[in-house]
Amino acid sequence: MRNPLIKRIPRELKSDWHKYLVIIVFMVVMIGVISGMYVGHDGMLEAVYSGREVLNLEDGRFELSKRASQEMLDAISTGEKADVREYYINKGIEEADKEVADAIEEELDSQVESAIEEAVRAQCEAYGITDEDVIKEQIDTAIDASYDEAIKEARESEEFRTAAEDAYKEAHDKVVEKVDEEWDKVADRYNLNDEFTPVKTVIYEHFYREEEEKAGSHTSNVRIYRSDSEIDKASFLEGRAPESSDEIAIDRMHADNVGIRLGDTIKVGKKQFKVVGLLSYVNYLTLHESNTDLMFDAFGFDVAMVTPEAFANLKSRIHYNYAFKYVDAPADRVEKADNSGAFLKALITQSLVFDNEIDDYLPEYLRQASNFAVSDIEGDSAGTAILCYILIGVIAFIFAITISNTIDKEASVIGTLRASGYSKRELVVHYMSMPVVVTILGAVIGNVLGYTAFKNVAINLYYESYSLPTAYSVWSNTALVKTTVIPLLLMFFVNLFVIVKKLQLSPLRFLRHDLSKSKRTKARRLPSWSFLRRFRLRILFQNMPNYGILMFGVVFIELMMCFAFGLPDSLNHYADEAGNMMFADYQYMLMDYRDEDGNVIETAEKTAEPFLATTLLYPKKESSFRTGMGSGGDESVTVYGIIDNSGFINLGSSLKEGEVLISSAFSKKFGIRKGDTLKLNAEYENKSYEFKVSGSVDYDGAVAAFMDDTSFRSVFEKEEDEFSGFFSKNEITDLDEQNIATVITSEDITKITVQLTHSIGGIVGIFKYALVVLAAALIYLLAKIIIERNEQSISMAKILGFKNKEIGSLYIIPTAVVVTVCSLAGFAIGFYLMIRIFRVFMLQMDGYFAFFLKPASAVLAVVYLLVGYAFVSILDFIRIKRIPLDVALKNVE
């Protein structure tokens, strides 16, 4: 015979359908969204991973200041370090030889001339010629006539050969001696003495140009690659690769954002191109223009593909970018880091000996553009899963309280069943079935929706932000575990714990309704307030566990509210402040301070002021790294050398050598204060610098440090006339594009906000309202429990003559007070936590961006929740009104 108690489950579901509907919808949405996220994200990742193979993703890239010779590329690809000692010796010998040769020539010349002069003077004397003018004339004639012969003779003499050999030898010995003397310093600088295993690579030319792209009124920067590239290829979401010199394929995400369609014509540089393809480059899943960018920028930056002919026709300078792949693929991140370190040593030494300069180096595993999306997708789902578990935990507790309440209500029945022979286990199983059934129901419906509707929502969300290839549909075990197994276990154990604890009591105590654990004999004494106030206080004490859960839920929701309001507020605030953040309207970074002809670059722009700059690294704490998260490692710090009486940065007069001012962003991000010592490391050399922080400059736009130009030159060994670029109040029009490396304007600062607003704007809006619904649902469930628990008392109060309004005030006001207090406290806690969370998040990224919440948003964050509660209290009042009088009179179990 089947246990007849099973029949209670569907009836319970039916009779209390509002409650269970709220819970199931809650779970379906949560589980569905998470499941959709996982399925979408697994499908997406699958597409990304397979793309890495098929499209031949690089293992890293480097950019040189000039095109590398084949010999140099061959040398780099061996992975061997160049013989730097030999290079310095050879270079020294070359210079020494020149000097010795010059010296010998001079000496020989003077010796031969002296010998001829001596011989002529002797002859003149023999002939009795004393006139000095005649003698000089004779000497000149003799030199003209026999100089070459004499030189030849001298050169062939044994004496000369010995002397020259000695001179060369001495010079060479000196060079070797000097190199050896300096060797330790050099070796240390290039890490030449470290243990080293060469890593063989295949190197690909992967040149690009950067041009201005104009599509309608929108202008952006486009990085253009050739269509015949064998590395870092693209997959086409629409259209095809360019085939003629007036065709171009551009990034799908950029086209989406800017509104470019297939078949449109865009202007790139000075040429018109027809857009024939929308692509996703395997190394540009996010459009990060620079690896140090805080956020990608699909509005202002684009990547494109043109034919080799079209590439040759473009006018902007070629970036001599090379991509490499390891011959033996590294197994993991550790190996990738080791390989990258070894490769960099080879690259640095080889470029040194081949007289080339490294402009940029980036191993793929640190590349934001190919790792940011992947890591963000993973981060998203992990974050959402945690949210889901918190909410399911809250639901589990609500369930547990509901069941605990039901057990209280059914105490006599339970006592009777236990007395009749039902075992504790059977009753635990019985009371456990409802949460398990509801969770399974929620999980099944949620998963079905996850694999259908929500998957596409998730994928579209990713497409809104990233330049991803077409996603596959894959079965996700992670989704199953995280959306079904974990919630089920969470629900199961929370309820099991509460139910088992509750059913521990003896049958007799159930029969006697003696269910309280504490043996408190005295009631809590209350102040001599009015009867109604004391009554309310008693209700508050009676429902403490419910209010505890409510408190937790409200704090959680307020935290989310702070996020939902704070993110757009922070973005807007940052965008509004961007103009003020710039200390110069234009910052021109030059390729070099001299042009191709060796002349120092100048400008006629009156407001232009030269500055010096270099990039150093500020080491972050290991704990703040986020695996796979773009540049992850150290923070890039731009160190500026500012001229005296600068019109842009006021250094004050007290800045001494070795002292710097840091930007306010730098100070806030890492909590660096005046008087601290700042240790910064060189990017590609094993060199570090220490500075004393003597104050900060109000500049939130970037992580930067400022020092005077004299100190800068001495610290970074710069020439007297050397500089890195210009600050300017106006656009500088007389600089040759070829010489400009980058221009930084306020748009570069706001691009992050434009991108983020586009990517998350819509979702955040929906999120706010979802939170109100969530808050209302949570309060609804808990308030319902409080009223259900007191049905008999409410009914009795009605019999005694209390009006519905009075009863309403008794039972609704305590909850209202708790909700209001919790909302305010929750907001304060949420706000504080959000600032912390934001800071931790910022530490993982490059750059700085502070959390900001408008006062109006702070008010709204609380008001929204209270509005949600207002609806619930109306429902509560209706519920109180509907409680019949006979509940207190009849023995209706």
Partner 1 sequence: MNENFLEIKDLKKSFGSGEARQEVLRGMNFTVKRGEFCVLLGPSGSGKSTLLNIIGGIDTPDEGFVSINGDKLEEMNESQLTLYRRKHLGYVFQMYNLIPNLNVKENIEVGAYLSDKPLDVEEVLTTLGLQDHKYKYPNQLSGGQQQRVSIGRAVVKNPDILMCDEPTGALDYKTSKEILALIEDCNRKFGSTVIMVTHNEAIKYMADHVIKLRDGVVRHNDINETKTSAMDLEW
The beta strands (E) that lie in 752-878 are given as none
| Helix, strand, coil percentages in the chain from 3-state DSSP, rounded to 5 | 60, 15, 25
Name the residue nearer to partner 1 (CB basis): 141 or 506: 506
Nearer to partner 1 among residue 426 and residue 683 (C-beta): 426
> 370 near 57, Cβ under 8 Å?
yes
DSSP conformational letter for 289: S
> Which amino acid would we find at residue 499?
I
What 3 state SS string does 281-340 have? ECCCCCCCCCCCCCCCCCCCEEEEEECHHHHHHCCCCEEEEEEEEECCCCCCHHHHHHHH
Closest contact distance (angstroms) between CB of 435 and partner 1 is 17
Yes or no: say if 51 and 370 are a contact pair by the CB < 8 Å rule.
Answer: no
Strands (E), 381-442: none
Cβ distance to partner 1 smaller for residue 5 or 715: 5
Q: How far is the CB of 466 from partner 1 (least distance, A)?
A: 52
Rounded to a whole number of angstroms, the minimum distance from the CB of residue 797 to partner 1 is 21
- Integer-rounded Cα radius of gyration of the chain: 39
Whose CA is closest to 603, among 591, 613, 588, 585? 588
Comparison of 380 and 410: residue with beta carbon closer to partner 1: 410
Minimum Å gap between C-beta 421 and partner 1 is: 3
Q: How far is the CB of 416 from partner 1 (least distance, A)?
A: 4
* Closer Cβ to partner 1, 4 or 128, answer by number: 4
Closest distance to partner 1 from the beta carbon of 7 (Å): 6
Inter-residue contact 526 to 798 (CB < 8 Å): no
Tell me whether residue 287 or residue 411 sits nearer to partner 1 (CB atom): 411
Instruction: Please state the closest distance from residue 795 (CB atom) to partner 1, in A.
Output: 14
Judged by CB, which is closer to partner 1: 171, or 414? 414
Q: Which residues of 586-603 are buried (b: 16+ CB within 10 A; e: fewer)?
A: bbbebbebebeeeeebee
Q: Which residues of this protein are in contact with partner 1, per CB under 8 A? A: 1-5, 7-8, 11-12, 15, 410, 412-413, 415-424, 506-508, 511, 890-893
User: Shortest approach of partner 1 to residue 2 CB, angstroms?
Assistant: 8
What minimum distance in Å lies between the beta carbon of 887 and partner 1? 11
Which residue, 4 or 855, is less far from partner 1 as judged by CB? 4
Q: How many angstroms separate the Cα of 165 from the Cα of each of 178, 626, 846?
A: 20, 62, 59
Residue closer to partner 1 (CB basis): 508 or 600: 508
Burial label for 38, CB within 10 Å (0-12, 13-18, 19+), is buried
Nearer to partner 1, 422 or 841 (CB): 422
CB of 335 to partner 1, least distance (A): 59
Of all helices (H) and strands (E), which one includes residue 440? helix 424-449
**CA distances (Å), origin 55, targets 280, 368, 498:** 10, 18, 55
Question: Cα(310)–Cα(276) distance, rounded to whole angstroms?
Answer: 14
Give bridge partners of residue 363 from the DSSP assignment: 60
Distance CA 807, CA 540 (A): 14
What's the start-to-end Cα distance of the chain, in Å?
Answer: 25
Give CA–CA dist 124/661, Å, rounded.
78
Q: Which residues are within 8 A (CB) of 464 and not within 5 positions of it... i.e. 6 or more apart?
A: 758, 759
Please state the separation of Cα 235 from the chain's center in Å: 25
Closer of 169 and 890 to partner 1 (Cβ): 890
Name the residue nearer to partner 1 (CB basis): 505 or 705.
505
Residue 82 burial (C-beta neighbours within 10 Å; 0-12, 13-18, 19+): buried
Report, in Å, the least distance between residue 788 CB and partner 1. Answer: 13
Going by their DSSP bridges, the two strands 247-251 and 271-281 should be labelled as parallel
